[in-house]
Copies of this chain bind each other. A is one copy, B any other.
Amino acid sequence: EELRREGKIAPSTFLYDPNDYLKHVFTFSGTVLKMCFTSAFFWFLMVVNIVVSIIYYSVKFNHENFDGAFETGRFPYISNYIYNVLGGMVSFMLVFHASDCYARFFQQYGTVRAVEININNVLNLLRTHLPDDAFEGAGDLRTTVAKWVVAQMYLGFGWLPTYRENQVDEWAWERVNEYGLIGLYEKQHLMALPVGEYPITEITTSCTQLLFKFVRMGKLDGGIAGEIGAEISGIENNFLTLYATTEQPVPFAMYHYITFINNTWLLLCAYQWVFYSYYWGIIAFFLNALAFQGLRELSNNLAEPFGNDDTDIPVFDFVVKWHTRVDNFIHMPVRLGKELSAKHLDAAPTA
């Protein structure tokens, strides 16, 4: 889609082969390598490490040092005895944080896919209980509710904070118009909603109001209308849960703490690790910076899976897929079990 080309939404999920790492070893997009190599702080750390190494080994001294028996000249130096505890703390903290962010990613993914289950249930209920011949107007009602549910998906995802900033919400409105999901009059009404309100809650209420009008007319059973309404409210509630999660990111104090001790620890190492192993120490520092900085960046990315990062959840691919599914099935008549119903049901005249 054009949105993807403009970098406003996430690319498709990259499916890899977990048993063959070598195939992916040079993959760059969507990896922590990319995250680190595009980070100014990462290169700042490397420059500090390399420059101090050069001054120490080439400008001041000319020899290698070995463990436990080196002299630092007049270079300020801190014993590793007293900063290694910090290193352990930082490692723990980062791994725990990564684990929490990973859980947050899958929790949000689960909510997205729960919407799919609601959609399928709505589709099933509409097709089962509102076939064209159920009552006069059943077909129209079925079509209208289905269209509104699809509109709810477009607008529901489009209203996620990151996408509103990207004007993806406008794209969502365009799609809704293009497919005629919502009439002109209804659209004006939704566009006129006060700032801060969601179109999806209004669509939910419109659906239940419409369904219960048919109930009051005696055309539709109240229990069935309730079931359909429950699934549509379920979609709304899933979206509200997503909004609630994205509106409360990792608390700032925690984000700041982790970033602060991680960056300070790396800066300390960039200086201190110069003294141990000639220029070879740069390799060790490089890997270390990659491991710590990379894990921090990875956690940030996992914690906020709606956006245009390489590892974000491609929600609009899902929306398009589910839209197609609704279009495919909503008018498909019953095909299975024809013989059986012919034998036992159609033979016997109703009443």
Contacts and interface: CB of A to CB of B under 8 A. Distances in A.
A174 interface: no
Contact of A335 (B41, B93, B185, B256): B185
Contacts of A300: 18-19
Nearest to A211: B128
B67 A79 contact: yes
Contacts of A285: 82
A102 interface: yes
A155 to B, nearest CB: 13
A189 B335 contact: yes
A165 to B, nearest CB: 11
A342 to B, nearest CB: 11
A77 B19 contact: no
A329 B79 CA distance: 66
B93 A96 contact: no
A328 B197 contact: yes
The quantity of this chain's copies bound in the complex is 5
Interface residues of A, number: 164
Contacts of A284: 78, 82-83, 86, 268
A78 B298 CA distance: 28
A102 to B, nearest CB: 6
Contacts of A348: 217
A109 B196 contact: no
Most buried by B among A72, A87, A263: A87
Contacts of A334: 206, 209-210
Most buried by B among A80, A336, A344: A336
A121 B232 CA distance: 11
**Pairs A-B, 4 closest by C-beta atoms:** A137-B344, A206-B336, A113-B244, A79-B276
